[in-house]
Amino acid sequence: MSQDPAAAVQQTSTAAPIERQALRTLFAIDENARVLAFAQTFTGRLVLVALFAAVLAIVKDAAWPQVLMITGAAAACAYLPKYRAPILFGATVALLIGKPTFWFVTKNISDVMRQEQITRLSERTATFAALLVFFLCAWGTLEFARRRNASFLARKPVVALLCAVTLMLALACSPLLHGISRVALWSLLIVFTSYLWFLAYALVDQRSRDRSPHLFQLGVFHPFWGSTSTPFGKGAAFLRKMQAKNPQELAVTQLKALKLLVWSWLLLQLETLLVGLMEGRLHLPRIALVQAAFFEHHPYPLFIGWASLVWATGAAALSLAIWGHQIVALARLAGFRLPRNTWRPLESRTLVDFWNRYYYYFKELLVQFFFLPTFLRMFRNHPRLRVFFATFMAAGVGNAVYHFIRDIGLAASMGLWGAIESYTSYLFYCTVLATGIAISQARANAGFKPSPKLIGRVWSFFCVWAFVVCLHVFGDESRAHGLGERLSFMASLFGVNEWTTTPR
């Protein structure tokens, strides 16, 4: 039986979109009317939350009591909107108290206690005391900003908070304090800085007419759904706008939450597979090992160095997507329609596009607290300089300030100068990244658009990721190697400045 070749081609080309559409419909459970109706019933909600808890237990490899507590809190938040503020605050505090270690503070506080030879006080007690003092101060600060909205604190919250950090740091690093008073100040400073950007968002909200109550504001300080020093879901103001407004919207949001969590699990499987392949089968050394070997004058061959660097960059991106999706999924289960933290970074066509897709909540923080204040006030008559400078303030200065403050505990263990000196590599990273993004932004403003053709897409992918991979050498946040060492390692990857040693 003969077939017209043109018709065959047409048949094949129409079959593919139909298959894609069918696949899309299969996964679009949040658009399926029957599923949506079921997700709004009591049984449907029970099934949805139970499924979410089961997947979360697998993805996080966490104990069931913790999973049930987090999922239960999220469900309560979603289904009891009248009590959302106390539930949020209660769950966040319960998780804080129930955690065996406060990952973001205890190690640094115990370092200071060791330096001061304080043994009669446990690090847990010091942390609890600092947390209690911080929360009381935060409540007082919010109340002050609400009552006096013309005060400096209310008008320029970030500047005021950064001034407070600087003063506390100067005092903590001075020889004036010893013993328990030094431990107390460092404990408070370390806790304060880990909540800094949460407090900044809350202070900004105090000037809104429909601001949230303090209990809600404090409930989203390192909320139970997870965060880093970057608030996922920004502050109460954003969460207020993003909460599901009716049962239908809530069902869609929670189904999207489940989908995102499953996607996170799939990415986790991919990560396990790739780690097994790269590090197990191919015996590709980790980048830290490649760098250590280079500094010991026994460098790996060039292709191993490059392969390790590319793998390290890819693994970091994959890891960010996995845990970012888990946090956003939990917040969605609680009824907040949050955008993803990472959104298809491999499809980035330009650097500024990559910046938007890679780590959304960090970018938003820098835009709100560094980019916009600069852009709205500086160089208004010089459009190009205005964009360039504002972008530089966000991706460069803001980025550097954020990371230095995040790791402020290092100033206690390494000394202030040591912490600054070991930070030069990251400063270089921020400078180059900011320049790259600013140029990309300026090009976008001038109307530059990457070619939509396949070759253009491949070229865009190559340019963006080559930049990101090269910069990864300096963006590694460990303070193990200085700028000079990292520069010579980078140069060695291009065959320059190789030490006259025998390669492995």
Partner 1 sequence: MDNNAKVTLRAFLTQTLEAHGDRKGFADTDSLFVSGRLDSLSMMTLIVHLEEAFGIDFAQVDFDVDLIDSVNDIASFVDDRLAR
Instruction: Decide: helix, strand or coil at residue 243.
Output: strand
Q: What's the closest the beta carbon of residue 356 comes to partner 1, in angstroms?
A: 5
Which of 91, 161, 242, 284 lies at the binding interface for partner 1 (CB under 8 A)? 242
Closest CB to partner 1 among 89 and 238?
238
* Of the candidate residues 208, 272, 478, 497, the single one contacting partner 1 (CB under 8 A): 208
> Residue 433, interface with partner 1 (CB under 8 A)?
no
Site for partner 1 in 78-97 (CB under 8 A): none
Q: How many Å is the maximal CA-CA distance in the chain?
A: 95
Contact residue for partner 1 among 107, 124, 146, 207 (CB under 8 A): 207
Q: Which is nearer to partner 1, 199 or 408 (CB)?
A: 199
Local structure of residue 378 (DSSP, 8 states): S
Shortest approach of partner 1 to residue 439 CB, angstroms? Answer: 14
Beta bridge partners, 243, equal 336
Restricted to residues 439-478, the positions that interact with partner 1 (CB under 8 A) are 441, 444-445
256 lies in the binding site for partner 1 (CB under 8 A): no
Residue 488 in the binding site for partner 1 (CB under 8 A)? no
Counting contacts by CB under 8 A, is residue 146 touching partner 1?
no
Nearer to partner 1, 123 or 364 (CB): 364
Report how far apart the first and last C-alpha atoms of the chain are (Å, whole number). Answer: 63
Q: Give the residue with the Cβ less far from partner 1, 70 or 366.
A: 366
**Interface of this chain with partner 1, residues 306 to 335, rule: CB under 8 A:** none
User: Strand, coil or helix: what is 336?
Assistant: strand
C-beta separation of 479 from 414 below 8 A? yes
Cα–Cα distances in angstroms (integers) from residue 396 to residues 269, 421, 463, in the given order: 34, 17, 20
Tell me which of 224, 238, 362, 426 binds partner 1, using CB under 8 A: 238
User: Does residue 140 belong to the site contacting partner 1 (CB under 8 A)?
Assistant: no
Residue 350 DSSP SS3: coil
Q: Which two structure tokens, joined as six digits, stand for 319?
A: 């890891």
99 binds partner 1 (CB under 8 A): no
Q: Min. distance of Cβ 343 from partner 1 in angstroms?
A: 9
**Nearby residues of 9 by Cβ (< 8 Å), 6 or more positions away:** none
| Residue (371 or 474) nearer to partner 1, CB | 371
The CA distances from residue 475 to 88, 127, 161, in Å, are 35, 30, 26
Give the residue carrying structure tokens 């790269």.
278
**For tokens 């010893």, what's the residue?**
178
Give the contact letters, 354-383, x = binds to partner 1 (CB under 8 A), - = no: --x------xx--x---xx--xxx--x--x
Q: Cα separations (Å) of 71 from 65, 257, 426? A: 10, 12, 37
Smallest distance from partner 1 to CB 477, Å: 24
| Residues 309/287, Cβ–Cβ less than 8 Å | yes
Nearest to partner 1 of 387, 393 (CB atom): 387
Show the tokens assigned to 92.
């966040």
Q: Which residues on adjacent β-strands are paired with residue 336?
A: 243
Catalog residues that contact partner 1 under the rule CB under 8 A: 207-208, 238, 241-242, 339, 352, 356, 363-364, 367, 371-372, 375-377, 380, 383, 387, 390, 441, 444-445
